[in-house]
Amino acid sequence: MVSQTSYRDAATVGIKPPTFQLPDAAHVGIVMLGVSNLERSVAFYRDVIGLALLSRHGKVAELGVAQETLLRLEELPGVEPIERRTRLGLYHTAFLLPNRAALASFIKHLSQLGVYFGAGDHIYSEALYLVDPDGLSVEVYADRPRSAWQVREQELLSATAQVDFANVLKEEIGAWDGAPVGTRIGHVHFYIGDLERARRFYHEALGFTIMTWSYPGALFVSAGGYHHHVGLNVWAGDSPKAGPTDARLLSWELVVPSPEDVQAVRSNLNRLGWTTQIGESGTVVASDPWGITVRVLSRGN
């Protein structure tokens, strides 16, 4: 019988990429969504999720926390909401709260609004799941300390168990006044068509470490020993790619420490045959086999 141990050293966990590995500080930046109705989407992410509206220009709005943009919404002509698990592309955008007490406050907030949500205890985190007005899923979660994460034969264990709401709500709950300082996008999760092709792009080319590979139909990859910055699953089956008339992910940011790191990512992508483009301020733009676009950039942090 294989023993299960607590998480101690990130260097000993996961399957490292064969050549290029992302810096430990790499993380998810701004997520950009194409929506059918900007007013409706702004209201959801502001009033339900708790983000502040930071700016709005025409059909584009930016929302975030403490003047930091986390989400950019663009209303696109002809776009319609989608049904759950009907398109390859975005499964969910995941907002990481700074602590469990904030999660407890958020649960109380949703209950007061009468908003339906799902939930899952993933061993390393406790998570709530909602759906935005366009049918795009949203996760709001809090991490457990890394000392509570579980490892088996170098693999970080993941599960989906029931959340012990009674226990969570024992936390000291303050009044919910929107997403608190320290909230950020912890990860993004995608519906893709093939795990092996996804592995070649996200693991071999982008340089993420595979942290979990035994969860049915999924891979979870990260930098710096985090449980996952990107989730990849085949749960949408043979669904088509999100198209121009679908509410969808437009792109997501992979933020690395320096411009040299940006170029290192580009060099590895190109070396392995992936097409890249250069965007504003040296941003490197690439797309996976299902048209999911990543923008690799540095903000000097």
pLDDT, position 288: 98
Closest alpha carbon to 70 in 33, 103, 110: 33
With 80 as the cut, is the pLDDT of residue 4 above it? no
The residues that bridge with 243 in the sheet, in sequence order, are none
pLDDT, averaged across the chain? 96
The residue behind tokens 């220009």 is 57
Which secondary-structure segment (H or E) carries 39? helix 38-43
CB within 8 A of 76, min separation 6: which ones?
34, 35, 36, 59, 244
The string of pLDDT tens digits covering residues 223-263 is 999 999 999 999 999 999 999 999 999 999 999 999 999 99
**Percent of the chain whose predicted confidence (pLDDT) is above 70:** 98
pTM above 0.95, yes or no: yes
pLDDT, position 300: 64
Total count of domains within the chain: 1
For residues 219 and 288, the answer to whether their CB atoms sit within 8 Å is: no
With 80 as the cut, is the pLDDT of residue 3 above it? no
CATH number at residue 108: 3.10.180.10
The string of pLDDT tens digits covering residues 22-73 is 999 999 999 999 999 999 999 999 999 999 999 999 999 999 999 999 999 9
Residue numbers of the domain that contains 100: 5-298
Least confident range of 3-17, 85-99, 215-229, 280-294:
3-17
Q: How confident is the model at residue 11 (pLDDT cuts 50, 70, 90)?
A: confident
For residues 29 and 223, the answer to whether their CB atoms sit within 8 Å is: no
With 60 as the cut, is the pLDDT of residue 168 above it? yes
pLDDT, position 6: 81
**Residue 67 phi/psi, 5° resolution?**
65, 10
pLDDT, position 173: 81
